[in-house]
């Protein structure tokens, strides 16, 4: 098993964040966005997409943690809402 290669853009963003897997044999199934204190502020399930876009316009400005599930693998990182 190898690590999921994931592109996240634009980052920072004001309205939308796009998540895209960079391997054709992996698909995005779920994206969770957390506040820095660990609270889930947004969660969305997808039906095996290579590219998904999530609106973040309703979130307050700040730094958030994302977790993206591709099968049994989770990939995490930070996004900045401007």
Residue where the block lists tokens 């590219």: 51
How far is 72 from 82, CA to CA, in rounded Å?
Answer: 31
Give residue 1's pLDDT: 47
How far is 35 from 26, CA to CA, in rounded Å?
Answer: 26
Prediction pTM value: 0.91
Higher pLDDT among residues 5 and 7, named by residue:
7
H or E element at residue 80: strand 73-81
State pLDDT tens for residues 27-39: 999 999 999 999 9
In the predicted model, is pLDDT for residue 68 greater than 70?
yes
């Amino acid at each position: 098993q190898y690590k999921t290669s994931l592109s996240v853009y634009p980052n920072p963003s004001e309205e939308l964040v796009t998540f895209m897997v960079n391997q054709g044999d992996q698909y995005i199934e779920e994206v969770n966005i957390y506040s820095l204190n660990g609270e889930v502020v947004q969660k969305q399930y997808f039906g095996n997409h290579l590219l998904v876009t999530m609106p973040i316009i309703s979130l307050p400005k700040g730094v958030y943690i994302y977790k993206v599930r591709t099968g049994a693998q989770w990939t995490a990182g930070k996004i900045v809402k401007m």
